[in-house]
Amino acid sequence: MTKLILTRHGQSVWNAENRFTGWVDVDLSNKGVQEAEKSGQLINELKIKIEVSYTSYLKRAIKTLTTILKINNLELKFNTAWQLNERHYGSLTGLNKEETKKKIGEEQFKKYRRSWDIAPPPMSAESEYQTLFSPLNSSIPVGMTPFTESLKDTYDRVVPFYENEIKTNLSAKKNILISAHGNSLRALCKYLLNISDIEINELEIPTGNPLIIDFDDQMEINKYYYLDKARAKNIIFNR
């Protein structure tokens, strides 16, 4: 049985401050470092061989991955991919979520945050936050960097990367670890677990809690579960 391990990075500094982070390259909080370490310990208890790993261009995901690899005594050369970046929150980037909800109203807030295909207004090209993006972004092909995204937009970059890159290694029976973000992992789970456009609003990916997806020899999902049962969230799966 082949395992795909999906781990949302540990709590970031802006997660702790309840701010929309998106593509801003913030670091892990102290709690986030602890969550990354706990993720590594939980994965180590599986006693499996992880053969390939992927992460985004953002340091909070990269640091989570390198922490997990170190705890598991793995010296893998990990793969970074901008397609696994967090969803771009456009002009909401940097704003406090509670303050934003009060300003624009709960209904509009929910549409921007949880709807399938509604993106926030775009970020200005002159925004100060553009300077806080990952330096790795300079390798993204010209014209591909977004100024805002819906979850659908995120899905449209995550899924082709999965199909063209990650699935190839899964099909070769290699256990894979992905350290990414709440929305890039929600997009991938929507695809893998056949979650509807409406139901995806209900899917929450907790920080620092590895989600294991087991594939059988026919590449069908056999089992799925969080390693930290106390912090597990509901998993939606439509066969």
- For residue 234, report the phi and psi dihedrals to the nearest 5 degrees: -65, 135
Between CA 103 and CA 99 the distance in angstroms is: 6
Between CA 21 and CA 192 the distance in angstroms is: 25
- For residue 134, report the phi and psi dihedrals to the nearest 5 degrees: -65, 135
181 in active site: no
**Residue type at 155 in one-letter notation:** Y
Which of 35, 86, 149, 181 is labelled catalytic?
Answer: 86
Q: Which of 54, 37, 39, 59 is nearest to 175 (CA)?
A: 54
Tokens of 63: 């640091």
Tokens of 85: 């970046």
**Residue type at 79 in one-letter notation:** N
Its sign, for the CA torsion 41, 45, 50, 53, is: negative
Which of 9, 88, 149, 181 is labelled catalytic?
Answer: 9
99 in active site: no
Tokens of 121: 């207004």
Between CA 157 and CA 108 the distance in angstroms is: 25
DSSP 171-205: HTT--EEEEE-HHHHHHHHHHHTT--TTGGGG---
Residue 18: DSSP 8-state: T
Please identify every residue annotated as catalytic. Answer: 9, 86
